[in-house]
A and B are shown apart, each in its own frame.
Chain A
Amino acid sequence: AQSVAQPEDQVNVAEGNPLTVKCTYSVSGNPYLFWYVQYPNRGLQFLLKYITGDNLVKGSYGFEAEFNKSQTSFHLKKPSALVSDSALYFCAVRASRRDSSYKLIFGSGTRLLVRP
């Protein structure tokens, strides 16, 4: 079964410090991995994706993510956090088998709180 785990319910970081939001996955075949961000009362906004190629993926708003196949991880990172980055972050894997419609399977989310 395909799944995504986000082991931290909340991550706290001071503005200007680097941040990491963790994600591990379990999938058959090659993984298609995504990060989305959700602000209060809003839908999910796409940040970045890993399909193939370089293990370090750069995305929107200065975020990047590192794909590690041996550790089955896809951690989200940013070198310098902003207060405005405070939001709910979801890691997702796309189901790869044709009979599962390529739906996204989401983790439970990690709340990022950046303090001034």
Chain B
Amino acid sequence: GAGVSQSPRYKVAKRGQDVALRCDPISGHVSLFWYQQALGQGPEFLTYFQNEAQLDKSGLPSDRFFAERPEGSVSTLKIQRTQQEDSAVYLCASNPKSEGAYSNQPQHFGDGTRLSIL
């Protein structure tokens, strides 16, 4: 596709359930980022992949959050035993190049998955 695609667009789950959020980056994009955007806030970094390698997961809020990108294209963000504070919009972004000191390409964002935990 032409842009970053995320699915589902909306997800409602009961507290304690596991959820999986999918991101299809722009074809050929090397770098992939996940961000969490709470209501009325700016996005906050969760994790970063370069191809299939997860190079930074410092933003994941707890061990209930897990992300993977096994073949270097599609990525899945999984949240286990969801809590109400997990309610947010989860944004995926991709970038054509490896991140590095001389990389200045903007990140391309998907429309996000709005997760509501009841």
Task: Collect the chain B residues with CB atoms within 8 Å of residue A4's CB.
Answer: 42
Q: How far is the CB of A41 from chain B (nearest CB, A)?
A: 7
Q: How far is it, in angstroms, between the C-alpha of A42 and the C-alpha of B103 when the chains are bound? A: 26
Q: Are the CB atoms of B99 and A43 closer together than 8 Å?
A: no
Q: Are the CB atoms of B99 and A105 closer together than 8 Å?
A: no
Name the contact of A102 in the complex, choosing from B103, B111, B114 (C-beta under 8 A).
B103
Q: Is B66 an interface residue (CB 8 A)?
A: no
Q: Given the interface contacts A101-B56, A106-B44, A109-B41, does A43 sit within 8 Å of B110 by beta carbon? A: yes
Task: Collect the chain B residues with CB atoms within 8 Å of residue A44's CB.
Answer: 43, 91, 93, 109
Name the contact of A41 in the complex, choosing from B56, B101, B106, B111 (C-beta under 8 A).
B111
Q: How far is it, in angstroms, between the C-alpha of A109 and the C-alpha of B39 when the chains are bound? A: 11
Q: Which residues of A contact B (CB under 8 A)?
A: 4, 32, 34, 36, 41-46, 49, 51, 90, 92, 96, 98-109
> What are 19 A-B contacts defined by CB distance under 8 Å?
A4-B42, A36-B109, A41-B111, A43-B6, A43-B110, A44-B91, A46-B108, A90-B43, A92-B42, A100-B56, A101-B45, A101-B48, A101-B55, A104-B35, A104-B45, A104-B93, A107-B42, A108-B40, A108-B41
Q: How far is the CB of B112 from chain A (nearest CB, A)?
A: 5
Q: Which residues of B contact A (CB under 8 A)?
A: 4, 6, 33, 35, 40-45, 48, 55-56, 58-59, 91, 93, 99-101, 103-104, 106-112, 114
Q: How far is it, in angstroms, between the C-alpha of A42 and the C-alpha of B37 when the chains are bound? A: 12
Q: How far is it, in angstroms, between the C-alpha of A41 and the C-alpha of B109 when the chains are bound? A: 13
Task: Collect the chain B residues with CB atoms within 8 Å of residue A41's CB.
Answer: 111, 114
Q: Are the CB atoms of B108 and A104 closer together than 8 Å?
A: no
